């Protein structure tokens, strides 16, 4: 059974703070790692798809890094804003060719104004 | 462009009643289709995925079943709901890159 872990489970930060959270995944048979942003009552929104070891992606104030050898990815948010409040999910896909996406439990971020 | 429709948005059903949630995708052909569930306080759990008509893979033993009667239609069913089936169900499609999600169904079994 593939295990994808995210930490912390939840996080409260003040507006303007920078923050980061972790996604851990199996380091063997890696194909891709996805990050999603999920707001309550909406469908998850894709942020990044990362495939290469050492990948670094950026979208506005949000960026992500990938280490496939040790099996982790970090998501960073610079200068958090209240609208960043959401659950951030990572999803792991292996090379089996079945395109199964296994999600972590998510990190619930609350940015306080 | 591709769109995904999932219904109903909310559902309240008594224990022991049947269930049918439907998901359809437009604007693409032969997509991979997925059903996920988020139980209270937990992440997204993959329930079923399908790479083609009639091809269903089940990830966890459970009280639910899935069917794909047409290329872009994916149905989640149960003959008799349990209290533990309550949760938020998401349908998704992909063509091998990121899955794209429907708006979800909030199921409450009473």
A29 has a pLDDT exceeding 70: yes
**Closest chain A CA to residue B43:** A105
A95 has a pLDDT exceeding 80: no
CA A57 to the chain's CA centroid: 11
What pLDDT score was predicted for residue A68? 94
Q: The tokens of A45 are what? A: 């929104």
What pLDDT score was predicted for residue A88? 96
Q: B60 falls in which pLDDT band (50, 70, 90)? A: confident
pLDDT average, residue stretch B49-68: 89
Contacts of A36 in chain B (CB under 8 A): 98
Facing residue for B46 by CB, picked from A34, A44, A102: A102
Q: Contact A49/B100, CB-based, under 8 Å?
A: no
User: How large is the C-alpha radius of gyration of chain B?
Assistant: 13
Give per-residue pLDDT as tens, B68-100. 999 999 999 999 999 999 999 999 999 877 889
Q: B48 falls in which pLDDT band (50, 70, 90)? A: very high
Q: What percent of chain A has pLDDT over 90?
A: 76
Nearest residue to A39 via CA among A88, A112, A91: A88
Nearest-angstrom CA–CA distance, B46 and A96: 16
Nearest-angstrom CA–CA distance, B36 and A31: 20
Strands A56-59 and A107-112: unpaired
Average pLDDT, chain B: 91
Contact B101, B88 (CB under 8 A): no
B98 and A CB contact within 8 Å? yes
Nearest-angstrom CA–CA distance, B32 and A107: 26
B61 and A CB contact within 8 Å? no
Contacts of A3 in chain B (CB under 8 A): none
Give per-residue pLDDT as tens, B23-37. 999 999 899 999 999
What pLDDT score was predicted for residue B7? 92
The secondary element (H helix, E strand) that includes residue B96 is: none
Nearest residue to A31 via CA among A75, A68, A74, A83: A68
Contacts of A7 in chain B (CB under 8 A): none
Q: Count other C-beta atoms under 10 Å from residue B1's C-beta.
A: 5
B4 has a pLDDT exceeding 70: yes
Give per-residue pLDDT as tens, A50-91. 999 999 999 999 999 999 999 999 999 999 999 999 999 999
B100 and A CB contact within 8 Å? yes
Q: What is the DSSP letter of A33?
A: E
């Amino acid at each position: 059974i593939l295990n994808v872990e995210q930490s912390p489970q939840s996080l409260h930060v003040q507006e303007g703070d920078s923050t980061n959270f972790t996604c851990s995944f199996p380091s063997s048979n890696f194909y891709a790692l996805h990050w999603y942003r999920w707001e309550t009552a909406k469908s998850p929104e894709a942020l990044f798809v990362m495939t290469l070891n050492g990948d670094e992606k950026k979208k506005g104030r949000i960026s992500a890094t990938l280490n496939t050898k040790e099996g982790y990815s970090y998501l960073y948010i610079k200068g958090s804003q209240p609208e960043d409040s959401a659950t951030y999910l990572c999803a792991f896909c292996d090379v089996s060719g079945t395109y199964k996406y296994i999600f972590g439990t998510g990190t619930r971020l609350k940015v306080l104004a | 462009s591709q769109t995904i429709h999932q219904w109903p948005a909310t559902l309240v059903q008594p224990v022991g009643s049947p269930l049918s949630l439907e998901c359809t995708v437009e604007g693409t052909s032969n997509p991979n289709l997925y059903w996920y569930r988020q139980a209270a306080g937990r992440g997204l759990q993959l329930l079923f995925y399908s790479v083609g008509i009639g091809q269903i893979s089940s990830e966890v033993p459970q009280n639910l079943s899935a069917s794909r009667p047409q290329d872009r239609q994916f149905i989640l069913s149960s003959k008799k709901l349990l209290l533990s089936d309550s949760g938020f169900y998401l349908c998704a499609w992909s063509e091998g890159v990121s899955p794209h999600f429907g708006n979800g169904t909030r199921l409450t079994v009473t």
